[in-house]
Structure 1
Amino acid sequence: MLCLDEATVCKPVVEKELEFYECLPGELHPFTPEYYGVIKVKVLPDGEYISLVGTAPNNYTPKLSSNFKRLRFRRSGSLEQDVGAAGMFEEDAGCNSHATATGMNPWVFRCHRDHLATLAATIEAKNTPQNFLVLENLTWKFRLPCILDLKMGTRQYDDNDSLAKRQRKMVKVVTTTSGKLGVRVGGMQVYQVTSGRFLCRNKFYGRTLSAGGFSAAVRHFLHDGTRLRVEVLPPLIRRLEALVDVLENQTSLRLYTTSLLLLYEGEPVQQPTDKLREKRESMERSSSLEDRAEDIDSDGSSSGLERSSSSGSLSAILVGKEVVTPEDRRGTAATSARKMNRRRSSSCCTEEISAEEPLTDVRIIDFAHSTHKGMSDSVVYSGPDNGFLFGLENMIAILKSIHRDYR
């Protein structure tokens, strides 16, 4: 992918994905990247380098930032990166026992290098610009973005795929957690405060995991090297539950081969227990001052200061360790019961004071094989996408289990 600035990414146009963004159901907008339009990108020789040039869509003004990291593509095929991010990323030892620190996620760097070589050769050969979608960069508001990329659903092929491709995709499903849980790890990066670096995993790691290994990988994603970031779990769970509610009401949507991104801010923060303690002490000091004001009131009457506790809304999640089975997705009665249980588990009790929640996000990406009734596809489905929902509800169950174990 390319980018206009730190707030955007630009990916080559696939006509079906373009159509999906242009007629996206309104209920999905909060769970997808913002779509800004299409740009044409052309290749220009620039000495020993190749420049990729495009003009921003009319409805978008690029942001200028000194923190913007750039890659430079040599005509020889090699890729260079700014030294500003040097040493911030490394592949986890589980992926590569000889990992070294690099300036960007190693898998991302490899994909960029290979794709840019193909892109430059294609555009130069045809001597015509290529169209790119301009989308929101979901990480740009984060200083140290921790990202879990989840390949969702129990079906990973398109209606237009060949029989051979369908068979390859089905093998990946039945031999990975996609078949058992409806979700598998497609990649991750998690910031470690102990080293000051991101540890990275790629899609091949995700394909090796068992159901138990998947749960362990999620815990790994939530651990910063010193502690598990339990405070990010309630907002992530609430966001995922909101997505379930939306998808259960979509009667023709199919999100085949899409990914679900879970993001949270990796920058070290004050632990919630410390924040709660500080707020309680502040309230006690304030209450003490009010008591004094009443004691010195000259006429002996109340000073009129009203005492009110600041009630919070930090949800306590009550969970079990079960995961959803494909059969659980069948029947409206079961669906209604699950929705009621989700609501109860998210609001069963509250704490008097809530800590400020960290920055988190949940979004769906990659719609080149998605469809709904508003598109021009020959096949129109009915009912919700139970394969995607199967994975989504298992993901929620796993996060709730972790929250119960660590809170």
Structure 2
Amino acid sequence: MDVQNKSRANVETAQAFEYQVAGHPGVLVVEDNAMIIKPLNKREQEFYEGANGAPEFKSFMPVYYGMLQQSNDNVNSENAEFICLENLVHGFDKPCVLDIKIGSRLWDIDAAPEKQAAMVKKGQRTTSGKLGIAVTGMKLHGQPSEDREWCRDLTEVTILDALAYYFSAAEKSVSKEYRDYVIRQFILEITELLQVVERTELRMYSSSLLFVYDASKTRYEQVFSSTSNASSATNEDGNGDNDEDQSVAADCSLLDMKAIDFAHSHWTPDQGPDQNYISGIHGLLESLRSVLAK
């Protein structure tokens, strides 16, 4: 389906999105499963449309297909408005999904003082305040999503256990080598994102990174069947000096990572990079390297 046809998708046949693990309810998936639609937020729409001026960062965002307005009984609205986005789990046999909120500051630039105070308290109660990251949702294939209370109760110590649990499906379904491979590839992608964010002028508050990998042994074997060393990996510190492994990762569809949730995001020319977001990315890299070392 081309972009024009996607924007005319029939909302009447859309279904609740099984792999929505965080955020406001109401995300739907259309019948071909290649696109999701979510209730329109004007600021998020503006951020997606403004990404055309920042092609490097845009490559780390889901594909944006435009806006859709249509009657839809599923959301109890006569004139529901949606933004249409790439479904990041499309094509995965056994997707495992993780949503991590980035940054210790959670309030927007125009937040009222009482909202700011509430967000400060929220950050102090969660790992956002000290680590600059917070697990806000997780779903392993074939299992129910972890609830919000479970996510909120994670501490600086137990968040590492939660991350290890997320990657455990790769080890159980395939091997320890595959688990380590997935973590290393995510470290590579996050590092590339960090380099882009360091030279991009924007502000993203309460934005997340969404991680997806396939826990299907069949797809793993298909992807690596033409590779002589299926368990090859990048160097042990996760910095990604192994060119062969990076080329395999670029060609395969076993995992993906994208920045999402831009309801409180802005393009900010002449204001420099987002240090709050950058600090959170560093915290995430440190946490993933700790999990990899276990």
TM-score range normalised by the length of the shorter chain: 0.7 to 0.9
**Which is greater in Rg?**
1
What's the C-alpha RMSD, in Å, of the aligned pairs?
A: 2.8
Task: Identify unmatched segments of 5+ residues in structure 1.
Answer: 44-49, 51-115, 192-196, 281-311, 320-344, 375-380
Superposition map of 1:310-329 within 5 A: 314-318=233-237
Partner of 1:255 in structure 2? 204
Asked if structure 2 preserves the Cα contact closer than 8 Å seen for 1:255 and 1:369, the reply is yes
Partner of 1:220 in structure 2? 165
Deviations, residues 177-208 of structure 1 (Å, cap 9, x unaligned): 101110001010113xxxxx225213321211
1:363 counterpart (244, 250, 258): 258
Give the TM-score taking structure 2 as reference length. Answer: 0.77
Asked if structure 1 preserves the Cα contact closer than 8 Å seen for 2:220 and 2:254, the reply is no
Cα displacement (A) at 1:373: 2.6
Give the TM-score taking structure 1 as reference length. Answer: 0.57
1:204 aligns with 2:149: yes
Cα displacement (A) at 1:245: 0.5
Asked if structure 1 preserves the Cα contact closer than 8 Å seen for 2:106 and 2:123, the reply is yes
Distance 1:355 1:7, change over 3 A: closer
Distance 1:387 1:158, change over 3 A: same
Query: 2-side partners of 1:370 and 1:202: how far apart?
Result: 25
Distance 1:355 1:21, change over 3 A: closer
Deviations, residues 136-195 of structure 1 (Å, cap 9, x unaligned): 11111211110110111111111222222221111111121101110001010113xxxx
Partner of 1:144 in structure 2? 94
Distance 1:384 1:317, change over 3 A: farther
Asked if structure 2 preserves the Cα contact closer than 8 Å seen for 1:17 and 1:366, the reply is yes
Deviations, residues 226-257 of structure 1 (Å, cap 9, x unaligned): 3652221221111111000000111x311111
Query: 1-side partners of 2:66 and 2:244: how far apart?
Result: 44
2:139 counterpart (189, 197, 205): 189
Deviations, residues 234-286 of structure 1 (Å, cap 9, x unaligned): 21111111000000111x311111111111001125989xx79x937xxxxxx
1:383 aligns with 2:272: yes
Task: Identify unmatched segments of 5+ residues in structure 2.
Answer: 1-26
Query: 2-side partners of 1:234 and 1:362: how far apart?
Result: 13
3-state DSSP of counterpart to 2:116: helix
Query: 2-side partners of 1:358 and 1:140: how far apart?
Result: 10
3-state DSSP of counterpart to 1:249: coil
- Percentage of pairs with the same residue: 30
Query: 1-side partners of 2:274 and 2:98: how far apart?
Result: 22
Query: 1-side partners of 2:96 and 2:216: how far apart?
Result: 9
Query: 2-side partners of 1:386 and 1:206: how far apart?
Result: 25
Superposition map of 1:221-370 within 5 A: 221-224=166-169, 226=172, 228=176, 229-250=179-200, 252-269=201-218, 279=228, 314-318=233-237, 345-347=239-241, 359-370=254-265
Asked if structure 2 preserves the Cα contact closer than 8 Å seen for 1:314 and 1:355, the reply is no
Deviations, residues 344-369 of structure 1 (Å, cap 9, x unaligned): x322x6789x9876611110111111
Query: 1-side partners of 2:140 and 2:232: how far apart?
Result: 28
1:172 counterpart (104, 122, 133): 122
Cα displacement (A) at 1:403: 2.4
Distance 1:157 1:351, change over 3 A: closer
Cα displacement (A) at 1:210: 1.0
Query: 2-side partners of 1:265 and 1:210: how far apart?
Result: 27
Asked if structure 2 preserves the Cα contact closer than 8 Å seen for 1:143 and 1:265, the reply is yes
Query: 2-side partners of 1:190 and 1:367: how far apart?
Result: 24
Asked if structure 2 preserves the Cα contact closer than 8 Å seen for 1:244 and 1:392, the reply is yes
Cα displacement (A) at 1:400: 2.1
Superposition map of 1:92-111 within 5 A: none
Distance 1:140 1:358, change over 3 A: closer
Q: How many residues align?
A: 253
Asked if structure 1 preserves the Cα contact closer than 8 Å seen for 2:203 and 2:268, the reply is no
Cα displacement (A) at 1:402: 2.5
Partner of 1:34 in structure 2? 63
Asked if structure 1 preserves the Cα contact closer than 8 Å seen for 2:30 and 2:36, the reply is yes
3-state DSSP of counterpart to 2:157: helix
